[in-house]
């Protein structure tokens, strides 16, 4: 099972100390798509639950979104940027193939010259929870006191806006958290467990085919739009429902919780119907799930931390109750975490 649980006996316990998020100003609505694609607001809303998504300005890169979200999380944690001793960025839309977006972020946070580790992590839409697991391991091993974990994407740069089955799903955004040592009674939210999984059998259903070593950039890859996201919608939908269901069921049953004992479930924001399907089969009330996908669409690695920050700031995470994070994505990868809020 998940290795995150192994560290529970550690004397040091990791906790979320602060959260932050940022979305670009430009809002692209379903009605906007009606003008350029053979689609309707009604189709998009009923099939996905998405009504709008945010699009980064031409001069905004992933690291810019990271910096805005990170600054808010650092402020919320009540620390200074200089207190960070590890920077993690989960993204599938980095600024560059190299250097890492985490190093660019380090510079943008004014931390150039401070020799702390910084690296990117790619687990697609599960990326933030993978980052959280890494941060927890570092903190509980005594290797770091304050870890910045950011999930950020500028997916609008890797979408084919002529492909109506894909472009309507995704948006840009960033969410960040500061992970540090848990102090009981303090304003810290213990990360009780994190569980990660991957299965490389299906690496085709969610894919950006070109730009890596298999299909390096060429005129052909550009002409054939192979630098854009390709989704096998039906296959991913099936996978997502089964993993959402499995992770939530296992977490609830293993902990012996009833629906009333759970504070909130924060799922990866991919499709409202995936959540409805999980709720129905688990007999859980839909309002247990925090959703913001109507406004932002699927922001991949940003989705869970963006929702976590919004839910926290809106007072939608009841104190003293567990918060379950669940994510799934390309790889295929899936991951879940339990926080004590
Ligand atoms: O983080 C994970 C990332 N991936 C996902 O979240 C994708 C998960 N999958 C899904 O959310 C759903 O499969 C979709 C929303 C992508 C598609 O929903 P669906 O109910 O599986 O629709 P479909 O693919 O079966 O398409 C039904 C029809 C097709 O037409 P035909 O072949 O039946 O004539 C599509 O061409 O709907 C058509 N269609 C559209 N029509 C209007 C596809 N996209 C659109 C569109 N507007 N935007």
**Per residue in 206-258, pLDDT tens?**
999 999 999 999 999 999 999 999 999 999 999 999 999 999 999 999 999 99
What lines the ligand 1 site, CB under 6 Å? Answer: 39, 43-44, 47-48, 125, 164-165, 168-169, 206, 231, 233-234, 236-237, 270-271, 298, 329
Asked if residue 4 has pLDDT above 60, the reply is no
Handedness of CA 271, 71, 17, 310 (dihedral sign): negative
Instruction: Note whether 20 and 75 are within 8 A (CB).
Output: yes
Q: Quote the mean pLDDT of the chain.
A: 95
User: Is 125 in the active site?
Assistant: yes
Instruction: Note whether 125 and 268 are within 8 A (CB).
Output: yes
Atom of ligand 1 at shortest range from CA of 170: 3
Nearest CA to ligand 1 atom 14: 233
- pLDDT at site 252: 95
Instruction: Note whether 300 and 270 are within 8 A (CB).
Output: no
User: Is 268 in the active site?
Assistant: yes
Asked if residue 198 has pLDDT above 70, the reply is yes
Please give the residue range of the domain that contains residue 98.
1-341
- HEC readout, the chain: CCHHHHHHHCCCCEEEEEEEEECCCEEEEHHHHHHHCCCCHHHHHHHHCCCEEEECCCCCCHHHHHHHHHHHHHHHHCCCHHHCCEEEEECCCCCCCCCCHHHHHHHHCCCCCCCCCEEEECCHHHHHHHHHHHHHHHHHCCCCCCEEEEEEECHHHHCCCCCCCCCCCECCEEEEEEEEECCCCCCCEEEEEEEEEECCCCCCCEECCCCCCCCCCCHHHHHCCCCCCEECHHHHHHHHHHHHHHHHHHHHHHHCCCHHHCCEEEECCCCHHHHHHHHHHHCCCHHHECCCHHHHCECHHHHHHHHHHHHHHCCCCCCCCEEEEEEEECCCEEEEEEEEC
- pLDDT at site 3: 43
- pLDDT, mean of residues 315-323: 96
237 Cα to the center of ligand 1, angstroms: 10
Q: Which of 29, 159, 233, 334 to mutate to test the pocket of ligand 1 (most atoms within 8 A of CB)?
A: 233
List 195, 271, 292, 298, catalytic entry? 298
55 Cα to the center of ligand 1, angstroms: 21
Asked if residue 1 has pLDDT above 60, the reply is no
C-alpha 66/C-alpha 297 separation (Å) is 18
The CATH number assigned to the domain holding 45 equals 3.40.47.10
Asked if residue 7 has pLDDT above 60, the reply is no
Nearest CA to ligand 1 atom 35: 165
Measure Cα distances from 9 to 86, 110, 136, 290, 341 in Å.
23, 36, 13, 30, 20
- pLDDT at site 5: 47
* Torsion angles phi and psi, residue 14, rounded to 5: -85, 150
List 268, 271, 292, 336, catalytic entry? 268
Domain count, the chain: 1
pLDDT > 70: percent of the chain? 97
- pLDDT at site 10: 59
**Per residue in 136-168, pLDDT tens?**
999 999 999 999 999 999 999 999 999 999 999
Instruction: Note whether 189 and 339 are within 8 A (CB).
Output: yes
C-alpha 96/C-alpha 211 separation (Å) is 11
C-alpha 153/C-alpha 304 separation (Å) is 12
- pLDDT, mean of residues 41-69: 98
User: Is 146 in the active site?
Assistant: no
43 Cα to the center of ligand 1, angstroms: 9
Per-residue confidence band for 186, with pLDDT thresholds at 50, 70 and 90: confident
**Per residue in 90-144, pLDDT tens?**
999 999 999 999 999 999 999 988 899 999 999 999 999 999 999 999 999 999 9
Asked if residue 2 has pLDDT above 70, the reply is no
233 Cα to the center of ligand 1, angstroms: 6
């Amino acid at each position: 099972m998940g290795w995150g649980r192994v560290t529970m006996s550690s004397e040091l316990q990791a906790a979320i100390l602060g959260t932050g998020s940022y979305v670009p100003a430009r809002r692209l609505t379903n009605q906007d798509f009606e003008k350029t694609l053979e689609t309707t607001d009604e189709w998009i809303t009923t099939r996905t639950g998405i009504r709008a998504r945010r699009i980064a300005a031409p001069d905004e890169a992933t690291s810019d979104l990271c910096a805005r979200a990170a600054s808010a999380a650092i402020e919320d944690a009540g620390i200074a940027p200089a207190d960070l001793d590890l920077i993690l960025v989960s993204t599938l839309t980095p600024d560059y193939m190299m250097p890492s977006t985490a190093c660019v972020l380090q510079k943008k946070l004014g931390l150039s010259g401070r020799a702390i580790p910084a690296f990117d992590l790619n687990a697609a839409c599960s990326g933030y929870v993978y980052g959280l697991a890494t941060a927890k391991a570092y903190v509980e091993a005594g290797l770091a006191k304050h870890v910045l974990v950011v999930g950020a994407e500028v997916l609008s740069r890797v979408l084919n806006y002529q492909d109506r089955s894909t472009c309507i799903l995704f948006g840009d955004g960033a969410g960040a958290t500061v992970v540090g040592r848990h102090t009981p009674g303090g304003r810290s939210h213990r990360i009780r467990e994190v569980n990660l999984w991957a299965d490389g059998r299906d690496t085709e259903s969610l894919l950006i085919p070109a730009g890596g070593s298999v299909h390096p950039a060429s005129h052909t890859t550009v002409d054939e739009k192979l630098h854009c996201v390709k989704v096998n919608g039906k296959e991913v939908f099936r996978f997502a429902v089964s993993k959402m269901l499995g992770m939530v069921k296992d977490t609830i049953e293993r902990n012996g919780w009833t629906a009333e004992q759970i504070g909130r479930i924060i799922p990866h924001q991919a499709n409202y119907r995936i959540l409805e399907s999980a709720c129905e089969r688990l007999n859980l009330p839909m309002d247990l799930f925090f959703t913001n996908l109507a406004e932002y669409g699927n922001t991949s690695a940003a989705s869970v931390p963006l929702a976590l920050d919004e839910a926290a700031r809106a007072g939608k995470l009841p104190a003293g109750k567990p918060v379950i994070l669940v994510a799934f994505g390309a790889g295929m990868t899936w991951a879940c975490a339990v926080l004590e809020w």
